[in-house]
Structure 1
Amino acid sequence: MTVSAQNIPAQLAEIIDDFQSMEEPERLQLLLEFSRSLPDLPEHLAGQPELLEQVVECQSPLFLTLEIGDGPEEPVEIYFSAPPEAPTTRGFAGVLHEGLNGLPAAEILAVPDDVPEQLGLTRAITPLRLRGMSAMLARIKRQITDARAAA
């Protein structure tokens, strides 16, 4: 099944398709690869936790922030901070980073809220962890909405 027909940006649809084409153990391995590929915070954010918002629904400490351009087609830059000893949380952040980073705000806002369930990890990952990824996506959308309202 391909997900690209929905309001899912091509780069995120490709990730979802990759997950869906695999068996469960392979999906967990792919999630671990995403955890390893999550970039570190850039220098201007490192060491400044007050600039990041904690996603308290995550079982491990995860923080995120966005940099949003002025225009509606300007790219949204997404930054995450999660400890290396939290591979599931980092993996979900890595999926969202690779799937959404650099896209215009409108495209990110249109992403369906059930993207975490579309990865096919519902039997391998606890519902609490899936809620954490859903919360990450919700925070990203809320920060975009708040920034647009303030502009």
Structure 2
Amino acid sequence: MTTTELPEKLNGIIEDFSSVPDPDRLELLLEFSEELPALPERYADHQDEMEQVVECQTPLFLAIELESPEKTTTPDGGGAGPDSLVRLFVSAPPEAPTSRGFASVLVQSLDGLTASEVLDVPEDISARLGLQKALTPLRLRGMSAMLGRIKRNISDQLAA
């Protein structure tokens, strides 16, 4: 998948990161951390109903719901297909701005895409954002793990 084949929102975010010098990319990621949407009530005090991304150094939790074309949302994916819309919810503490920033990038770029579009997103998003010089390899692996968990969760729901 080339940059032009990426989903439109993700492509725009990658272009935003590419347009700033290396030292400013971390600052841009921190700006994204402030834009992570709040959790809906059904998850706000129920992290036990969310999946923890244990590869992250910080306690980060996510929930993926697939919305069928009939606009019914099912957290277990019942009746979901590749054309189902992905609804992505992430909880990341404010004291972990880099993890929170990448979570925000994923939510802003993947939420509302179809399941098949999300499954087609390349694994190298952190590299495409140009964050290799700004973050440690451990942080970059945590970012990749978030995307991997999202894809695995979608695949599991589609198989259910």
Structure-1-length-normalised TM-score:
0.93
Extract unaligned runs of 5+ from structure 1.
none
Extract unaligned runs of 5+ from structure 2.
68-79
SS at match of 1:59: coil
Please show how residues 1-150 of structure 1 align to structure 2 within 5 Å: 4-6=3-5, 8-69=6-67, 70-150=80-160
Amino acid at match of 1:81: S
CA distance in 1 between partners of 2:7 and 2:147 (Å):
14
- CA RMSD after TM alignment: 1.1
Indicate if the aligned counterparts of 2:17 and 2:129 stay in contact, CA closer than 8 A.
yes
Amino acid at match of 1:5: T
SS at match of 2:88: strand
CA distance in 2 between partners of 1:129 and 1:63 (Å):
16
Indicate if the aligned counterparts of 1:54 and 1:63 stay in contact, CA closer than 8 A.
yes
CA distance in 2 between partners of 1:15 and 1:96 (Å):
10
Indicate if the aligned counterparts of 1:4 and 1:10 stay in contact, CA closer than 8 A.
no
Structure-2-length-normalised TM-score:
0.88
Indicate if the aligned counterparts of 1:113 and 1:134 stay in contact, CA closer than 8 A.
yes
**TM-superposition CA deviations, 1:85-122 (whole Å, max 9, x none):** 00000000001011111100000000011111111010
CA apart distance, 1:81: 0.3
Amino acid at match of 1:99: S
CA apart distance, 1:66: 0.5
Indicate if the aligned counterparts of 2:81 and 2:158 stay in contact, CA closer than 8 A.
no
